[in-house]
Amino acid sequence: MMKHSKKSIIKLVPDFLDYLEIEKGLSNKTQENYSRYLKRFSDWLFEIEKHTLLPHQLTPEIIWKYRVFLSRKTESQKTGEALQKNTQNYYLIAIRALLNFFTERDITSLPAEKIKLAKQPKNRKIHFLQLEQIKNLVEAPIVEDEAGLRDRAILEGLFSTGMRVSELVQLNVEQMKTTKDFLELGVKGKGSKVRTVYFSNRALSWVKKYLSKRSDTDPALFINYRPGAERAETRRLSVRSVENIVKKYSKQAGLPVMTTPHTLRHSYATDLLNNGVDLRSVQEFLGHSDISTTQIYTHVTNKKLKDIYLKHHGGKDI
């Protein structure tokens, strides 16, 4: 039987986050994301003097005002750019999840399906690098010290495996101990989904060169070499640190400014498709739960189909 809650929506958010951890068993990263998205909603409710809003008082009109707020919110104060549609949807999806939690707890509120997501362009443009650009990027680090060898190993590893940067920074030295020249490795991705990634002979050789120079006992594979880092409990590199490393060498290699670790993931997928790997296999390599996510690479599959058509059919005389 549904009931009205005496606690406001804002005060129920911590209960929801506990629910994600204990009952849903979601990863810390996912919990952090939900917490961040719902904090913006809570702050907005507080600003419009609805901080005491109860779940059953939430209306489609209030949600609409919040959507207007998100659409006019800037992603960065420096650029003044508005939040992208997919980013806006993350905030709305978090509210949907909160409303589903209310339903599961028999708390009267707005049905989650009443919150519609923003429509996104069908063909989302992605950025990827050509093989010559990849070569210039991975060869940019000066490999005369540990930091340079680390950076080369990071760049080679990202392109070889197609890992997300969040997966890469969680790797440990112990996982890389092998006498082989090729490594299959299980990594835990989004939604705690485990998949196999593959380090090529070349990528693994750079990891081994880097490890051969290490004399510390930190379990993390990629560690920080900044002054004072050795005093920390662990010197494991953060996601932001790896992003800065890629950005640094992208500039040195003269690559587009939008080059990020995810650009290397896109480049990895594009290279697989260019070499005849089917879309379903690429889905498995990337760890996508839904094939529709992998279909952003239609820029490759569409061109391949066109080339096949012109070669085998389109140019024939009747």
Q: Which fold has domain 131-310?
A: hpI Integrase; Chain A (1.10.443)
Q: Would you state the pLDDT for residue 313? A: 60
Domain positions in the chain are: 9-114, 131-310
Query: Is 288 a catalytic site residue?
Result: yes
Q: Which residue in the list 37, 210, 249, 297 is annotated as catalytic?
A: 297
10-25 average pLDDT score: 89
Please report where in the chains the tokens 């296999």 appear, as a residue.
281
Query: Is 297 a catalytic site residue?
Result: yes
Query: Is 265 a catalytic site residue?
Result: yes
Query: Is 190 a catalytic site residue?
Result: yes
Q: Which residue in the list 164, 210, 266, 268 is annotated as catalytic?
A: 164
Percent share of the chain, pLDDT over 90:
58
- Domain range 9-114, CATH class: mainly alpha
Least confident of 19-33, 50-64, 230-244: 19-33
Report pLDDT digits (tens) over 213-265: 999 999 999 999 988 877 777 899 999 999 999 999 999 999 987 899 999 99
Is the pLDDT confidence value at 52 over 90? no
What are the start-end ranges of the E strands in the chain? 183-188, 194-199
**Sequence-separated (6 or more) residues with CB below 8 Å from residue 266:** 126, 127, 128, 297
d(CA 214, CA 147): 10
Is the pLDDT confidence value at 123 over 80? no
Q: Which residue in the list 7, 56, 65, 190 is annotated as catalytic?
A: 190
94-109 average pLDDT score: 93
Residue 314: DSSP 8-state: I
Q: Which residue in the list 96, 150, 236, 265 is annotated as catalytic?
A: 265
Is the pLDDT confidence value at 35 over 70? yes
Q: Please give the distance of CA 126 from its chain centroid, rounded to a whole number.
A: 14
